[in-house]
Copies of this chain bind each other. A is one copy, B any other.
Amino acid sequence: MKTQLEQARGGVVTPEMRRVAEKERVSAEVIRAELAAGRLVIPANRLHLAGVGVPDAAGVSCGGVKLDAVGIGRSVTTKINANIGASPVSSCKEHELLKLQWAVKFGADAVMDLSTGGDLDATRQFLIANSTVPIGTVPMYSMIVAKPVEELTYADMLAAIEKQAAQGVDFFTIHAGILRRHLEPAMRRKLGIVSRGGSLLAKWMLHTGRENPMYEMFDEISAVLRQYDVSYSLGDGLRPGCLADASDEAQFGELDVLGELVHRARASGVQTMVEGPGHVPYDQIEMNMTRQREVCDGAPFYVLGPIVTDMFPGYDHITSTIGATAAAYHGASFLCYVTPSEHLALPRPEDVKQGCIAYKIAAHAADVARKLPGARERDDAISDARARFDWPAQFELAFDGEQAREIRGRDKVGEEDYCSMCGRSWCAVRLSNEIKAGVGKGSSQ
Protein backbone atom coordinates (compact mmCIF):
# COMPACT_ATOMS: atom_id res chain seq x y z
CA MET A 1 0.00 0.00 0.00
CA LYS A 2 1.15 3.50 -0.79
CA THR A 3 1.52 6.40 1.61
CA GLN A 4 -0.36 9.66 1.17
CA LEU A 5 2.88 11.11 -0.19
CA GLU A 6 3.33 8.38 -2.76
CA GLN A 7 -0.28 8.61 -3.87
CA ALA A 8 -0.05 12.39 -4.15
CA ARG A 9 3.04 12.03 -6.31
CA GLY A 10 1.16 9.54 -8.45
CA GLY A 11 -1.61 12.08 -9.01
CA VAL A 12 -4.11 10.31 -6.75
CA VAL A 13 -6.41 12.36 -4.55
CA THR A 14 -7.17 10.22 -1.48
CA PRO A 15 -10.27 10.55 0.71
CA GLU A 16 -7.99 12.10 3.35
CA MET A 17 -6.80 14.78 0.94
CA ARG A 18 -10.42 15.50 0.04
CA ARG A 19 -11.35 15.70 3.71
CA VAL A 20 -8.51 18.15 4.41
CA ALA A 21 -9.47 20.25 1.38
CA GLU A 22 -13.08 20.38 2.56
CA LYS A 23 -12.06 21.65 6.01
CA GLU A 24 -9.54 24.14 4.66
CA ARG A 25 -11.46 25.81 1.84
CA VAL A 26 -8.80 24.99 -0.71
CA SER A 27 -9.11 22.58 -3.60
CA ALA A 28 -8.20 18.93 -3.23
CA GLU A 29 -5.75 19.46 -6.06
CA VAL A 30 -3.87 22.07 -4.03
CA ILE A 31 -3.68 19.63 -1.13
CA ARG A 32 -2.43 16.89 -3.42
CA ALA A 33 0.17 19.11 -5.05
CA GLU A 34 1.44 20.47 -1.74
CA LEU A 35 1.64 16.97 -0.34
CA ALA A 36 3.51 15.72 -3.40
CA ALA A 37 5.99 18.59 -3.02
CA GLY A 38 6.59 17.67 0.62
CA ARG A 39 5.20 20.99 1.84
CA LEU A 40 2.15 19.44 3.49
CA VAL A 41 1.66 16.33 5.60
CA ILE A 42 -1.45 14.43 6.63
CA PRO A 43 -0.31 12.39 9.64
CA ALA A 44 -2.62 9.43 9.36
CA ASN A 45 -1.57 5.92 10.27
CA ARG A 46 -3.72 3.64 8.13
CA LEU A 47 -4.73 1.68 11.22
CA HIS A 48 -5.94 4.81 13.02
CA LEU A 49 -7.82 5.83 9.90
CA ALA A 50 -9.65 2.52 10.07
CA GLY A 51 -10.19 2.76 13.83
CA VAL A 52 -8.27 0.67 16.35
CA GLY A 53 -10.24 -0.72 19.25
CA VAL A 54 -8.80 -1.95 22.54
CA PRO A 55 -10.20 -4.87 24.48
CA ASP A 56 -11.91 -3.89 27.73
CA ALA A 57 -11.81 -5.93 30.96
CA ALA A 58 -14.28 -8.42 29.47
CA GLY A 59 -12.20 -8.73 26.31
CA VAL A 60 -14.67 -6.78 24.19
CA SER A 61 -13.16 -4.27 21.78
CA CYS A 62 -13.99 -0.71 22.76
CA GLY A 63 -12.95 2.67 21.43
CA GLY A 64 -11.88 2.27 17.84
CA VAL A 65 -12.60 5.89 17.03
CA LYS A 66 -11.54 6.76 13.49
CA LEU A 67 -9.05 9.51 12.75
CA ASP A 68 -10.37 12.65 11.10
CA ALA A 69 -7.55 13.63 8.73
CA VAL A 70 -5.70 16.88 9.41
CA GLY A 71 -3.40 18.72 7.02
CA ILE A 72 -0.27 20.50 8.20
CA GLY A 73 1.51 22.97 5.93
CA ARG A 74 1.70 26.61 4.87
CA SER A 75 -1.12 26.29 2.35
CA VAL A 76 -3.63 25.52 5.10
CA THR A 77 -4.48 26.94 8.53
CA THR A 78 -1.87 26.77 11.27
CA LYS A 79 -2.31 23.73 13.49
CA ILE A 80 -1.62 23.25 17.17
CA ASN A 81 -0.47 20.25 19.15
CA ALA A 82 -1.07 19.52 22.82
CA ASN A 83 1.47 17.40 24.68
CA ILE A 84 -0.07 15.14 27.28
CA GLY A 85 1.20 12.01 29.00
CA ALA A 86 1.72 10.50 32.39
CA SER A 87 5.03 10.81 34.22
CA PRO A 88 6.57 8.54 36.86
CA VAL A 89 5.39 11.08 39.43
CA SER A 90 1.80 11.02 38.24
CA SER A 91 0.30 8.37 35.98
CA CYS A 92 -3.24 7.26 35.24
CA LYS A 93 -4.67 6.25 31.87
CA GLU A 94 -8.03 7.86 32.59
CA HIS A 95 -6.41 11.17 33.51
CA GLU A 96 -4.65 11.15 30.17
CA LEU A 97 -7.92 10.50 28.37
CA LEU A 98 -9.39 13.47 30.21
CA LYS A 99 -6.47 15.62 29.05
CA LEU A 100 -6.98 14.37 25.48
CA GLN A 101 -10.65 15.33 25.69
CA TRP A 102 -9.88 18.78 27.10
CA ALA A 103 -7.21 19.30 24.45
CA VAL A 104 -9.62 18.50 21.64
CA LYS A 105 -12.43 20.55 23.23
CA PHE A 106 -10.12 23.58 23.36
CA GLY A 107 -8.88 23.26 19.83
CA ALA A 108 -5.90 20.90 19.64
CA ASP A 109 -5.47 19.60 16.08
CA ALA A 110 -3.13 16.84 17.25
CA VAL A 111 -2.02 15.39 20.55
CA MET A 112 1.30 13.86 21.53
CA ASP A 113 1.36 11.17 24.18
CA LEU A 114 4.67 11.81 25.92
CA SER A 115 4.05 9.39 28.76
CA THR A 116 7.10 8.34 30.72
CA GLY A 117 5.22 6.75 33.60
CA GLY A 118 2.58 4.08 34.13
CA ASP A 119 1.90 1.40 31.50
CA LEU A 120 3.13 3.22 28.42
CA ASP A 121 1.84 0.70 25.86
CA ALA A 122 -1.63 0.53 27.38
CA THR A 123 -1.94 4.31 27.73
CA ARG A 124 -0.87 4.87 24.14
CA GLN A 125 -3.30 2.29 22.77
CA PHE A 126 -6.11 3.67 24.91
CA LEU A 127 -5.55 7.20 23.66
CA ILE A 128 -5.36 6.17 19.98
CA ALA A 129 -8.54 4.15 20.37
CA ASN A 130 -10.31 7.24 21.67
CA SER A 131 -8.86 9.98 19.48
CA THR A 132 -10.26 11.61 16.36
CA VAL A 133 -7.11 13.72 16.10
CA PRO A 134 -3.67 12.46 15.07
CA ILE A 135 -1.62 11.02 17.91
CA GLY A 136 2.14 11.49 18.00
CA THR A 137 4.74 9.85 20.21
CA VAL A 138 8.48 9.77 20.86
CA PRO A 139 9.19 6.01 20.55
CA MET A 140 12.48 6.44 22.43
CA TYR A 141 10.59 6.88 25.68
CA SER A 142 9.15 3.39 25.70
CA MET A 143 12.53 1.88 24.82
CA ILE A 144 14.13 2.87 28.09
CA VAL A 145 11.44 1.37 30.27
CA ALA A 146 12.76 -2.13 29.64
CA LYS A 147 16.49 -1.40 29.97
CA PRO A 148 18.98 1.41 30.55
CA VAL A 149 19.46 3.52 27.45
CA GLU A 150 23.13 2.58 27.05
CA GLU A 151 22.20 -1.12 26.70
CA LEU A 152 19.70 -0.60 23.88
CA THR A 153 20.48 -2.44 20.65
CA TYR A 154 19.44 -1.51 17.13
CA ALA A 155 16.97 -4.38 17.28
CA ASP A 156 15.40 -3.05 20.50
CA MET A 157 14.93 0.33 18.92
CA LEU A 158 13.43 -0.90 15.69
CA ALA A 159 11.12 -3.24 17.58
CA ALA A 160 9.76 -0.39 19.71
CA ILE A 161 9.19 1.76 16.64
CA GLU A 162 7.44 -1.05 14.81
CA LYS A 163 5.29 -1.84 17.83
CA GLN A 164 4.05 1.72 18.14
CA ALA A 165 3.44 1.99 14.40
CA ALA A 166 1.34 -1.16 14.64
CA GLN A 167 -0.67 0.41 17.43
CA GLY A 168 -1.75 3.18 15.08
CA VAL A 169 0.43 6.15 16.06
CA ASP A 170 0.18 8.84 13.40
CA PHE A 171 3.52 10.61 13.76
CA PHE A 172 6.81 9.87 15.45
CA THR A 173 9.38 12.24 16.80
CA ILE A 174 12.68 10.64 15.79
CA HIS A 175 15.81 12.46 16.90
CA ALA A 176 17.98 11.35 13.99
CA GLY A 177 19.74 14.67 13.47
CA ILE A 178 21.83 14.92 16.63
CA LEU A 179 25.25 13.50 15.78
CA ARG A 180 28.43 12.87 17.77
CA ARG A 181 30.07 15.96 16.32
CA HIS A 182 27.31 18.14 17.81
CA LEU A 183 27.84 17.05 21.39
CA GLU A 184 30.89 19.18 22.06
CA PRO A 185 29.23 22.44 20.93
CA ALA A 186 26.08 21.45 22.81
CA MET A 187 28.06 21.00 26.01
CA ARG A 188 29.46 24.52 25.69
CA ARG A 189 25.92 25.80 26.15
CA LYS A 190 24.36 27.25 29.24
CA LEU A 191 21.68 24.54 29.30
CA GLY A 192 23.19 21.77 27.20
CA ILE A 193 20.57 19.40 25.81
CA VAL A 194 16.99 19.98 26.94
CA SER A 195 15.28 17.44 24.70
CA ARG A 196 14.59 14.17 26.48
CA GLY A 197 15.09 12.11 23.33
CA GLY A 198 18.19 14.09 22.43
CA SER A 199 19.79 13.67 25.84
CA LEU A 200 19.06 9.91 25.91
CA LEU A 201 20.63 9.44 22.50
CA ALA A 202 23.62 11.56 23.51
CA LYS A 203 24.09 9.32 26.51
CA TRP A 204 23.89 6.23 24.26
CA MET A 205 26.45 7.70 21.85
CA LEU A 206 28.79 8.65 24.64
CA HIS A 207 28.55 5.24 26.25
CA THR A 208 28.87 3.13 23.11
CA GLY A 209 31.27 5.43 21.26
CA ARG A 210 29.07 4.99 18.18
CA GLU A 211 27.05 7.38 15.98
CA ASN A 212 23.37 8.18 16.62
CA PRO A 213 21.52 4.91 15.91
CA MET A 214 18.47 6.74 14.60
CA TYR A 215 20.69 8.32 11.98
CA GLU A 216 22.48 5.06 11.18
CA MET A 217 19.22 3.12 10.90
CA PHE A 218 17.31 5.94 9.25
CA ASP A 219 16.36 4.09 6.08
CA GLU A 220 15.25 1.03 8.02
CA ILE A 221 13.12 3.21 10.27
CA SER A 222 11.68 4.89 7.19
CA ALA A 223 10.68 1.50 5.84
CA VAL A 224 8.63 0.83 8.99
CA LEU A 225 6.99 4.25 8.86
CA ARG A 226 6.19 3.81 5.18
CA GLN A 227 4.43 0.54 5.85
CA TYR A 228 1.86 2.15 8.19
CA ASP A 229 2.09 5.64 6.71
CA VAL A 230 3.34 7.08 9.96
CA SER A 231 4.72 10.59 9.40
CA TYR A 232 8.14 11.70 10.55
CA SER A 233 8.46 14.58 12.89
CA LEU A 234 12.23 14.91 12.75
CA GLY A 235 13.15 15.82 16.30
CA ASP A 236 15.38 18.68 17.31
CA GLY A 237 17.41 17.06 20.04
CA LEU A 238 19.49 20.20 20.21
CA ARG A 239 16.78 22.81 20.44
CA PRO A 240 17.94 25.69 22.64
CA GLY A 241 16.68 25.55 26.22
CA CYS A 242 17.25 29.23 26.96
CA LEU A 243 17.69 32.51 25.09
CA ALA A 244 21.46 32.35 25.48
CA ASP A 245 21.65 29.05 23.58
CA ALA A 246 19.45 30.08 20.64
CA SER A 247 20.65 29.98 17.03
CA ASP A 248 23.99 28.46 17.96
CA GLU A 249 26.35 26.02 16.25
CA ALA A 250 24.70 22.98 17.87
CA GLN A 251 21.18 23.98 16.80
CA PHE A 252 22.06 24.82 13.21
CA GLY A 253 24.48 21.90 12.90
CA GLU A 254 21.62 19.54 13.71
CA LEU A 255 19.27 21.46 11.39
CA ASP A 256 21.60 20.79 8.47
CA VAL A 257 21.41 17.06 9.18
CA LEU A 258 17.61 17.29 9.40
CA GLY A 259 17.63 18.93 5.97
CA GLU A 260 19.50 15.94 4.58
CA LEU A 261 17.09 13.55 6.30
CA VAL A 262 14.05 15.31 4.83
CA HIS A 263 15.26 14.27 1.40
CA ARG A 264 16.03 10.73 2.50
CA ALA A 265 12.63 10.35 4.15
CA ARG A 266 10.86 11.67 1.08
CA ALA A 267 12.85 9.28 -1.10
CA SER A 268 11.50 6.48 1.09
CA GLY A 269 7.95 7.71 0.52
CA VAL A 270 7.48 8.90 4.11
CA GLN A 271 5.70 12.15 4.92
CA THR A 272 7.98 14.42 6.89
CA MET A 273 7.88 17.46 9.10
CA VAL A 274 10.72 18.99 11.08
CA GLU A 275 10.79 20.12 14.69
CA GLY A 276 12.22 23.43 15.84
CA PRO A 277 12.95 25.59 18.87
CA GLY A 278 12.41 26.09 21.83
CA HIS A 279 13.67 29.31 23.41
CA VAL A 280 14.47 32.08 20.90
CA PRO A 281 14.69 35.86 21.35
CA TYR A 282 11.89 37.59 19.44
CA ASP A 283 14.26 39.22 16.96
CA GLN A 284 15.71 35.87 15.85
CA ILE A 285 12.41 34.14 15.06
CA GLU A 286 11.98 35.28 11.47
CA MET A 287 15.57 34.30 10.65
CA ASN A 288 15.04 30.87 12.20
CA MET A 289 11.91 30.26 10.15
CA THR A 290 13.55 31.37 6.91
CA ARG A 291 16.60 29.21 7.55
CA GLN A 292 14.52 26.10 8.29
CA ARG A 293 12.50 26.51 5.11
CA GLU A 294 15.66 26.82 3.05
CA VAL A 295 17.56 23.98 4.72
CA CYS A 296 14.56 21.62 4.85
CA ASP A 297 13.18 22.37 1.40
CA GLY A 298 9.81 23.59 2.64
CA ALA A 299 9.01 20.62 4.89
CA PRO A 300 6.37 21.76 7.43
CA PHE A 301 8.02 23.28 10.48
CA TYR A 302 6.74 22.15 13.87
CA VAL A 303 7.90 24.50 16.61
CA LEU A 304 7.74 24.38 20.40
CA GLY A 305 6.79 27.93 21.27
CA PRO A 306 9.33 29.45 20.95
CA ILE A 307 9.54 31.04 24.38
CA VAL A 308 10.84 34.62 24.07
CA THR A 309 11.96 35.22 27.67
CA ASP A 310 13.19 32.76 30.29
CA MET A 311 12.22 34.58 33.46
CA PHE A 312 8.47 34.05 33.65
CA PRO A 313 8.02 30.44 34.80
CA GLY A 314 4.33 29.93 35.54
CA TYR A 315 3.42 32.03 32.49
CA ASP A 316 5.20 30.20 29.70
CA HIS A 317 1.96 29.66 27.81
CA ILE A 318 2.12 33.46 27.31
CA THR A 319 5.88 33.87 26.76
CA SER A 320 5.69 31.16 24.12
CA THR A 321 2.47 32.30 22.46
CA ILE A 322 4.25 35.51 21.50
CA GLY A 323 6.98 33.48 19.81
CA ALA A 324 4.52 31.03 18.29
CA THR A 325 2.57 33.81 16.59
CA ALA A 326 5.75 35.24 15.10
CA ALA A 327 6.85 31.74 14.06
CA ALA A 328 3.52 30.93 12.43
CA TYR A 329 3.50 34.26 10.64
CA HIS A 330 7.03 33.82 9.34
CA GLY A 331 7.02 30.14 8.37
CA ALA A 332 5.92 27.51 10.89
CA SER A 333 2.90 25.32 10.14
CA PHE A 334 2.44 23.45 13.39
CA LEU A 335 2.72 24.87 16.91
CA CYS A 336 3.38 22.67 19.90
CA TYR A 337 1.77 24.29 22.90
CA VAL A 338 3.50 25.16 26.13
CA THR A 339 1.45 25.25 29.31
CA PRO A 340 1.66 27.40 32.46
CA SER A 341 3.41 24.50 34.22
CA GLU A 342 6.32 24.30 31.75
CA HIS A 343 9.69 24.07 33.55
CA LEU A 344 7.89 23.31 36.81
CA ALA A 345 5.52 20.35 36.77
CA LEU A 346 3.46 17.91 34.73
CA PRO A 347 0.51 19.73 33.13
CA ARG A 348 -2.94 19.10 34.54
CA PRO A 349 -6.21 19.32 32.61
CA GLU A 350 -6.58 23.03 33.45
CA ASP A 351 -3.05 23.62 32.10
CA VAL A 352 -3.97 21.73 28.94
CA LYS A 353 -6.96 24.07 28.52
CA GLN A 354 -4.89 27.21 29.07
CA GLY A 355 -2.15 26.02 26.74
CA CYS A 356 -4.57 25.10 23.97
CA ILE A 357 -6.43 28.40 24.12
CA ALA A 358 -3.20 30.41 24.09
CA TYR A 359 -2.04 28.46 21.04
CA LYS A 360 -5.35 28.78 19.21
CA ILE A 361 -4.84 32.53 19.66
CA ALA A 362 -1.34 32.32 18.16
CA ALA A 363 -2.41 30.10 15.26
CA HIS A 364 -5.47 32.18 14.49
CA ALA A 365 -3.72 35.55 14.79
CA ALA A 366 -1.09 34.32 12.35
CA ASP A 367 -3.71 32.97 9.94
CA VAL A 368 -5.47 36.35 9.97
CA ALA A 369 -2.13 38.06 9.36
CA ARG A 370 -1.35 35.61 6.54
CA LYS A 371 -4.74 36.56 5.03
CA LEU A 372 -5.89 32.97 4.61
CA PRO A 373 -9.30 32.83 2.91
CA GLY A 374 -12.05 33.51 5.43
CA ALA A 375 -9.63 33.61 8.36
CA ARG A 376 -11.14 36.81 9.74
CA GLU A 377 -14.82 35.89 9.38
CA ARG A 378 -15.42 34.99 13.00
CA ASP A 379 -13.53 38.08 14.21
CA ASP A 380 -15.73 40.21 12.00
CA ALA A 381 -18.89 38.48 13.18
CA ILE A 382 -18.08 38.97 16.86
CA SER A 383 -17.24 42.61 16.17
CA ASP A 384 -20.64 43.05 14.53
CA ALA A 385 -22.23 41.46 17.58
CA ARG A 386 -20.31 43.89 19.81
CA ALA A 387 -21.54 46.86 17.83
CA ARG A 388 -25.17 45.81 18.30
CA PHE A 389 -24.72 44.70 21.95
CA ASP A 390 -25.79 41.19 21.09
CA TRP A 391 -24.28 39.46 24.09
CA PRO A 392 -25.61 35.96 23.32
CA ALA A 393 -24.06 36.14 19.85
CA GLN A 394 -20.76 37.35 21.35
CA PHE A 395 -20.69 34.39 23.72
CA GLU A 396 -21.61 32.07 20.88
CA LEU A 397 -18.83 33.40 18.65
CA ALA A 398 -16.20 33.67 21.39
CA PHE A 399 -13.68 30.85 21.36
CA ASP A 400 -14.40 30.21 25.04
CA GLY A 401 -17.88 31.63 25.47
CA GLU A 402 -18.26 30.06 28.89
CA GLN A 403 -15.33 32.09 30.24
CA ALA A 404 -16.54 35.31 28.59
CA ARG A 405 -20.04 34.83 30.03
CA GLU A 406 -18.63 34.22 33.48
CA ILE A 407 -16.54 37.41 33.48
CA ARG A 408 -19.38 39.56 32.24
CA GLY A 409 -21.83 37.89 34.58
CA ARG A 410 -19.92 38.60 37.77
CA ASP A 411 -21.13 42.20 37.89
CA LYS A 412 -24.77 41.31 37.20
CA VAL A 413 -25.51 44.00 34.65
CA GLY A 414 -28.00 41.92 32.64
CA GLU A 415 -28.51 41.82 28.89
CA GLU A 416 -28.15 45.55 28.37
CA ASP A 417 -26.33 47.91 26.06
CA TYR A 418 -23.20 48.32 28.19
CA CYS A 419 -20.93 46.41 30.56
CA SER A 420 -19.46 47.15 33.98
CA MET A 421 -16.18 48.36 32.45
CA CYS A 422 -17.49 51.85 31.76
CA GLY A 423 -21.12 51.73 32.82
CA ARG A 424 -23.90 52.95 30.56
CA SER A 425 -23.25 56.72 30.30
CA TRP A 426 -19.61 56.30 29.39
CA CYS A 427 -20.01 53.41 26.97
CA ALA A 428 -18.23 54.42 23.76
CA VAL A 429 -19.93 51.80 21.64
CA ARG A 430 -23.38 52.91 22.81
CA LEU A 431 -22.44 56.57 22.21
CA SER A 432 -21.01 55.66 18.84
CA ASN A 433 -24.31 54.11 17.79
CA GLU A 434 -26.07 57.35 18.83
CA ILE A 435 -23.56 59.38 16.83
CA LYS A 436 -24.02 57.15 13.81
CA ALA A 437 -27.69 58.03 13.78
CA GLY A 438 -26.74 61.70 14.26
CA VAL A 439 -24.16 61.80 11.48
CA GLY A 440 -26.74 60.22 9.18
CA LYS A 441 -29.13 63.05 10.00
CA GLY A 442 -26.38 65.68 9.74
CA SER A 443 -25.35 64.74 6.24
CA SER A 444 -28.90 65.23 4.94
CA GLN A 445 -29.14 68.80 6.26
Contacts and interface: CB of A to CB of B under 8 A. Distances in A.
Interface residue tally of chain A, by bracket?
A: 35 or more
A67 interface: no
Nearest to A428: B199
A398 interface: yes
Given A194-B432, A380-B243, A319 B361 contact: yes
Interface string A367-404: 01111000010111011101100000010011110011
Contact of A400 (B284, B314, B419): B314
A310 B397 CA distance: 10
- In the assembly, how many copies of this chain are there? 2
A376 B311 CA distance: 9
Given A202-B431, A310-B379, A436 B192 contact: yes
Given A191-B383, A362-B322, A379-B311, A206 B89 contact: no
A282 B369 contact: yes
The 8 closest A-B pairs by CB, nearest first: A192-B432, A88-B423, A242-B383, A314-B403, A282-B369, A283-B369, A199-B431, A89-B420
28 contacts: A88-B423, A89-B423, A90-B411, A183-B439, A190-B384, A191-B429, A192-B435, A193-B428, A193-B432, A194-B432, A196-B428, A203-B438, A241-B383, A243-B376, A243-B383, A244-B379, A281-B368, A282-B329, A282-B368, A308-B365, A310-B383, A311-B378, A311-B399, A313-B394, A313-B404, A326-B326, A341-B407, A345-B410
